[in-house]
Amino acid sequence: MDALTLIRDFVCSHSEIDREKVVPEAVLAEVGIDSLMLLEVMFEYEEKTGVKLPEDLPTPVTVQDLIDQLDRLAPGSAS
């Protein structure tokens, strides 16, 4: 599963926000992902991929920021 799909699925299951509003340039807080929900998204990502996210990740502002972070840490990623 790619990171954008995971984020969209999460938003649709936790809020009334439409899936199509979860676009890369959207601000996370404006699509219902506040600091608390960000922890839950990261937990879901770890559960689904087996990747342990580091504790010191910078706080992402937009959906694209979060996608970039998750993609960099995804299995098979070069970094």
Partner 1 sequence: MSKAPRRVAITGLGVVSPWGSDVDGFFDRLLAGQSAIRHYTTDDGHLSMSMPAVHCPEFDAAREVGRASAAMDRSAQMSFAASSQAWRQSGLPISEQPDRGAAVYWGTALAGTLTYEQGYREMLLKGRERVPPLSLILGMNNAAASHLAIHFRLGGPCLTYTIACASAAAAIGEAWQAIRDGRCRMALTGGADSPMSLAVVRAWEALRVLAPLGERGAEAACRPFSSDRAGLVLAEGAAALVLEDWEHARARGAEILAELAGYGSTCDASHLVKPSADGQYDAMNQALANAALAPADIDYLNAHGTATREGDPIEIEAVRRLYGAHAAGLAVSATKSMHGHLMGATGATEAVVCVQALRRNAIPPTAHLERLEPACEGVEHIRGHGVERTIRACMSNSFAFGGSNSVLVIRQPSGD
Binding residues (CB under 8 A) for partner 1: these are 12-16, 36-37, 39-40, 43
Task: For partner 1, give the closer residue by CB, 23 or 43.
Answer: 43
Task: For partner 1, give the closer residue by CB, 19 or 77.
Answer: 19
Residue 33 C-beta: closest distance to partner 1, Å: 12
Residue 68, CA atoms < 13 Å, CB-side half-sphere:
11
Residue 54 C-beta: closest distance to partner 1, Å: 15
| Residue given tokens 């998204």 in the structure block | 41
Instruction: Name the residue among 40, 35, 41, 34 with its Cα closest to residue 8.
Output: 41
User: Tell me, what amino acid is at 43?
Assistant: F
Residue 66 C-beta: closest distance to partner 1, Å: 15
Could you tell me the maximum CA-CA distance found in the chain, to the nearest angstrom?
36
